[in-house]
Amino acid sequence: MRQIVIGLLFAILWASAAVATKFGIHSADALILANVRFLLAGGGMLLFAYLGQKGEHRLPRGKEWKQLLIFGSLNTTVYLGCFVLAMKSVSAGIGSLSTATSPLFIMVISALWLKRSLKWYEIVGMLLGMAGVGLATYPLLHDSHATVGGIATLLFGMLAVSVATVYYARIKWEMANVVINGWQVFLGGLLFIPITAFFANFETSHLDLRFWLSVGWLIIPVSIIALQLWFYLVRKDAVRASLWLFLCPVFGFLYSSVLLHEPITWFTFAGTFLVIGGLYLAQREKFQKKVADEK
């Protein structure tokens, strides 16, 4: 029961990121919103790690700086930067749906990295997932709730975070998770500063209450609480943890409909069903193995 409650809470919070971003970019340029979030979230985690837990953590050294820069540039600068930019021209529901496709990208990238052939059900699962995103998006292209450019930016970001995940798994880290995450988010934010400085529209940006509420939500409930819940679920059971990603699109479309009045159609339901079906099919071997082990 405890894991069910934690899993539900994770999906509820994680799916809210797109809506919170939507609210924030109504007050300030998307680049400014992203940069403030990165620096505050990363700086906050580092302060907690080094001041709140004195003596328990050390600074990165040697090649660890390079590893953190690579991870941070992919996981924060590129992925989250693309996600925030895409929210200017893509519905919050589609943003939530896209995050659920990450396991499919990771599966393909891992296979290429390890130079192994993809199995038939992995390929079909990937195709179903992409078809689902396309189906859910199709009607939104006609009523200004999505653009082709926005979808392309979103998918490029998903590719970046999937590469980052595979890279992270291949490194033998000797630092605590809070230190790794703190540095990769903070360094990703530093790398993002030149982009914000050159391309952000500062004249039309207003750091009002709505902006800070959006940033606060993205930092505390999403970046801190939801991630800690995810780490707990993965430590308990990595296979079952991935099942909770299936719920994120459901909550995401619910939020976008109720809070932002974005349309939900049969295309939405059919596309979400295809994505969830593709995810399950692509990972069916893991689920079947888990059931067999329990017996």
Taking all residues of the chain, what is their mean pLDDT, rounded to a whole number?
84
| Position 291 pLDDT exceeds 60 | no
Instruction: For residue range 55-110, list pLDDT tens digits in order.
Output: 678 899 999 999 999 999 999 999 989 999 888 888 888 887 777 777 777 778 87
| Position 15 pLDDT exceeds 90 | no
Radius of gyration of the chain (CA): 19
Q: What percent of the chain has pLDDT over 90?
A: 31
Q: What percent of the chain has pLDDT over 70?
A: 89
Domain total in the chain: 1
- Tokens 């689920």 belong to 287
In terms of Cβ atoms closer than 10 Å to its own Cβ (0-12, 13-18, 19+), residue 194 is exposed
- Measured at the CA of 71, the angle between CA 65 and CA 72, to 5 degrees, comes to 85
34 or 118: which carries more pLDDT confidence? 34
pLDDT score of 293: 58
C-alpha dihedral over 25, 31, 35, 36, to 10 degrees? -30
| Distant-in-sequence, close-in-space partners of 17: CB < 8 Å, separation ≥ 6 | 83, 95, 96, 99, 218, 222
Q: Which amino acid is at 144?
A: S
pLDDT score of 223: 81
Q: Which of 104-113, 171-180, 193-202, 247-256 has the highest mean pLDDT?
A: 193-202
What is the rounded average pLDDT of the residues 12-24?
Answer: 91
CA–CA distance, 101 with 44 (Å, rounded to integer): 29
- Supply the pTM of this predicted model: 0.80
Range of the domain at 212: 1-294
pLDDT score of 21: 92
What is the rounded average pLDDT of the residues 28-37?
Answer: 93
pLDDT bin (cut points 50, 70, 90) of residue 194 is very high
| Position 29 pLDDT exceeds 80 | yes
pLDDT score of 261: 85
pLDDT bin (cut points 50, 70, 90) of residue 226 is confident
pLDDT score of 272: 80
Residue 150 main-chain phi, psi, to 5 deg: -65, -45
pLDDT score of 24: 93
Instruction: For residue range 236-271, list pLDDT tens digits in order.
Output: 765 567 667 777 888 888 888 888 888 788 888 888
pLDDT bin (cut points 50, 70, 90) of residue 39 is very high
Assess contact for 147 and 90: CB atoms under 8 A.
Answer: yes
Centroid of chain to Cα 33? 16
pLDDT score of 142: 66
CA–CA distance, 32 with 9 (Å, rounded to integer): 28
Among 181, 148, 164, 156, which residue's Cα sits nearest to residue 113? Answer: 164
CA–CA distance, 187 with 66 (Å, rounded to integer): 11
Instruction: For residue range 120-135, list pLDDT tens digits in order.
Output: 777 887 788 778 877 8
What is the rounded average pLDDT of the residues 189-201?
Answer: 94
CA–CA distance, 49 with 35 (Å, rounded to integer): 21
